[in-house]
Structure 1
């Protein structure tokens, strides 16, 4: 039997938790984001009703196409899908027998359905990554239909190692591409190793620790940048090396990187999901200190020596190349001088050389996993029938893995377009056919550093007079008041606050939802105001609204700095007008609102008992703060898990 039985179940438990975070975080935001009076009403995003399987799957495959048949409006239907996702993921979290292919298929379908109408508030890399990992989870989850039996663990199969390889390949693509794009983007801060001197204050929603990390000397932040390159470009190759100690080292190195990101930035469930991917690097020996006793083989001593020497050689080589290519020099004051010692053409040449090698590495290691799984089926399974079934399963899942690997090459090779053009048209065709299901996607984190001259931030103000009395709207989490303490809110993602960050990087013309926000504020729309912490006009909406662009900087801990402060987290400076003064009577705003179909003339009553029940539940839950709601649901699941452990 494969040696990842416990690893596999831990992976499935982790995926249950990630889904729980994702669905519960989205649920509290649906009315303000997607309701009939929200910022981007979902009724405008999906108008097609499905009368057949073909109509359900074509275009935007979504279960929401079935909502008219259930007598539900779009907002209530989204509530239903979110509640279903919370309930299923909760049961998967607390019950091992519930973690089967049926549960994870439902979770993937529910999230895909919501994603299709999510528009700009749900089109992030972590949402796409969750869909891809979620689909791979369908292949990993067991066909566990014996829910009524009191079995301690679900069935495990020889082909599990093949399916977990796909998770490992996804982890490699995610990390390797994230390192490469920092250099192919030609961003001067990444090439100058100064990206992290800007990152902590310019990221979307910094944590308190980000302020402290920003105070480190420049040489330390440059070395942190070097370490980021090392962890994202050479270390991922260790994922596939057949030496357990190096895989464990790669696991810990990636986990440490993700934990540091979690501590210094509020990236919702993204980094937690990346850590879940790292579970694919582990085996049961990691979870069980007392593994099965193995017979001593004649070459075991040689193998032990090789397992000690090889990691030292490999890590020593990586260290040597790091010193060489980043010009690392120790100064007399024990600071470290660093600079990139290669040119852009040299890196392009390196990428041309190494990209085909990564694909060959994928082919070789996948082929190895398939062959080994078949051999184990023949040697470890008992009886001719079980051996035959196991071999057939390995062939089936091996074929699926090869297909997934093939179509993943299309988004993976985006990091080097000339090579992508050399791929067989068959790969491109099959990838295009599956694109709407997001089975595989391209990734590239922190491609370019923003906020180099100061963190751009949009501040919305309202007033009853054009010339005076302007008051700021305070958002739940994004920077506003310079005295406001930085929040800790992951794994919750406040999607409006995130989009406000993107809006500040451009203009309102390229962010049409921003005008929707202004229109809702001019009407004191409750569902939208629930996404904002402080409404300065609680009794009556303001007559006018405007938006100002500021540049924010962290204050300094150095008393000699002109940014020094003992009370403020930020300093800010007004840069420009972001949105001119608007009122409800502005003709251009009226025309825009009509064209965008934002006005809901009358609130429709639910036409079914199901709809009434969902709305009643929404009323009972109210509008909780997102982070508290997410963590409350998670804490409830952990409490049930502990009771299961101690009582059963």
Structure 2
């Protein structure tokens, strides 16, 4: 078979849709495991309270009508099942309207979670998944040609993701301009990975090369996405390589994986000769009703793109912002400023009554740094939402985070669902009498310290984040509230 541009587009669509379905699958598995303790009826930020205060028109979601634990977990499981079906190609063997409906299901479900997810879902990769997922609805099944308009809109999305991230850095921290940010970033990023220690200890000159390559990928290559093939494909390939570098250097949930997925439709001409795939011959065009839907989509995205496009050239660029409640066209960007010193909130409890002689035990988290001897873990593309927000809590007083006090209260209650978010229970099911939070400064060990101690981190106490608190017993356990000593 002769590999034409149309063949490349077909292969690019095929691979992209499988990659997107895989990301959806991970996202819904995260929800299955975490939605009840984070957003459930007794969760840290209950959905029921949120929908009681925010009208549907501002944050449309199925959970305005159904917000019970059963509804949240059930919808997440539906998302898992449908995503798995899409991953194995169910939409390609179904009639076109049914295939579109299948892709619409995870978009509706995930948008519903994001729109009531509050701080737990306030990340750029959430809106990126919503936006990419909506465009996927219109790509059509495998037995028709991919709509060129939708392929262009996917490039427009990738363009905004990369250029937005590049511009926010260029306008932000001076270390991006003098090429020194990566002397700090690998150590102070939210969740370092198993290779982050090695990346941190690369020579300073190589760190400068990393930053310069990042600028090239995010400030130059996006404009080549709209060049003729194979130039666009090569540009997308180089973007995917830089995103792969980020996958190796840290845990950024599915942000990098999804960005790589967005590169795949552009890379179709390069992928086609490598994969044992081929479109039907001849490849028919989409039916008229589908073409009308695509042109309506173009009009809607074009209109909604005005504000995100203006944001790209604005002096005060906003990152990770949605301009419409359906999150159809958004702005992106991260790490405009870099933290130079890593602080961690260390949460501890004790079963002793007397604080003067209390023995404190530390709560270990699944991903965030804790025990200096524990090597940073690989968790991405899985997303540990509590661990991520603990990083933000260390940047500002914990009492300003609306979820932190409920988190401490849940530990004092011995809440099993919340304890399931942690890496074990230091009290083996027994309720602690007191819980406190301290701030400690972390840094990677030097090569010499690593050889001498085997540790990955060195930490030292900085101060209190939350003084010791205990539950104030009242008429019923549900009325218990933490109080300070």
Give the structure-2-normalised TM-score.
0.87
Asked which structure has the greater CA Rg, the reply is 1
Identify the match of residue 409 of structure 1 among 306, 320, 323. Answer: 306
1:325-381 superposed Cα distances (whole Å, 9 cap, x missing partner): xxxxxxxxxxxxxxxxxxxxxxxxxxxxxxxxxxxxxxxxxxxxxxxxxxxxxxx99
1: CA distance, partners of 2:29 / 2:186:
27
Identify the match of residue 171 of structure 2 among 176, 184, 192. Answer: 184
Is residue 2:344 matched to residue 1:457?
A: yes
Identify the match of residue 16 of structure 2 among 11, 14, 19. Answer: 11
Q: Which residue of 1 aligns with 2:71?
A: 77
2: CA distance, partners of 1:290 / 1:182:
37
Once the two structures are superposed, the pairs formed by residues 108-119 of structure 1 within 5 Å of their partners are 108-119=107-118
Q: Which residue of 2 aligns with 1:165?
A: 152
Once the two structures are superposed, the pairs formed by residues 600-615 of structure 1 within 5 Å of their partners are none
Is residue 2:258 matched to residue 1:273?
A: yes
2: CA distance, partners of 1:418 / 1:502:
25
Change in CA separation of 1:16 and 1:501 when aligned onto 2, cut-off 3 Å:
same
Is residue 2:234 matched to residue 1:249?
A: yes
Q: Which residue of 2 aligns with 1:156?
A: 144
Q: Which residue of 1 aligns with 2:93?
A: 97
1:236-279 superposed Cα distances (whole Å, 9 cap, x missing partner): 111111141x2232122111111111111112211110011001
Give the structure-1-normalised TM-score.
0.66
1:276-315 superposed Cα distances (whole Å, 9 cap, x missing partner): 1001212356313699xxxxxxxxxxxxxxxxxxxxxxxx
Shift of 1:41: 2.0
Is residue 2:40 matched to residue 1:35?
A: yes
Shift of 1:15: 1.3
Structure holding more helix per residue? 1
Counterpart contact for 1:37–1:527, Cα < 8 Å = no
1: CA distance, partners of 2:121 / 2:479:
23
Structure 1: runs of 5 or more not aligned: 50-54, 68-72, 143-153, 292-379, 421-430, 596-648
Change in CA separation of 1:396 and 1:22 when aligned onto 2, cut-off 3 Å:
closer
Q: Secondary structure of the equivalent of 1:36?
A: coil
Change in CA separation of 1:575 and 1:412 when aligned onto 2, cut-off 3 Å:
farther
Identify the match of residue 326 of structure 2 among 437, 440, 443. Answer: 437
Change in CA separation of 1:48 and 1:180 when aligned onto 2, cut-off 3 Å:
closer
1: CA distance, partners of 2:459 / 2:290:
61
Counterpart contact for 1:248–1:282, Cα < 8 Å = yes
Q: Which residue of 2 aligns with 1:120?
A: 119
Change in CA separation of 1:586 and 1:136 when aligned onto 2, cut-off 3 Å:
same
Count matched residues: 459
Once the two structures are superposed, the pairs formed by residues 53-452 of structure 1 within 5 Å of their partners are 58-67=57-66, 74-95=68-89, 96-97=92-93, 100-142=99-141, 154-157=142-145, 160-185=147-172, 187-244=173-230, 246-284=231-269, 286-288=271-273, 394=291, 397-417=294-314, 435-450=324-339, 452=340
Q: Secondary structure of the equivalent of 2:355?
A: coil
Counterpart contact for 2:437–2:467, Cα < 8 Å = yes
Counterpart contact for 1:483–1:567, Cα < 8 Å = yes
Q: Which residue of 2 aligns with 1:620?
A: none
Q: Which residue of 2 aligns with 1:471?
A: 361
1:426-482 superposed Cα distances (whole Å, 9 cap, x missing partner): xxxxx95xx1110011111211112x0x21100011122312312211111210110
Counterpart contact for 2:233–2:270, Cα < 8 Å = no
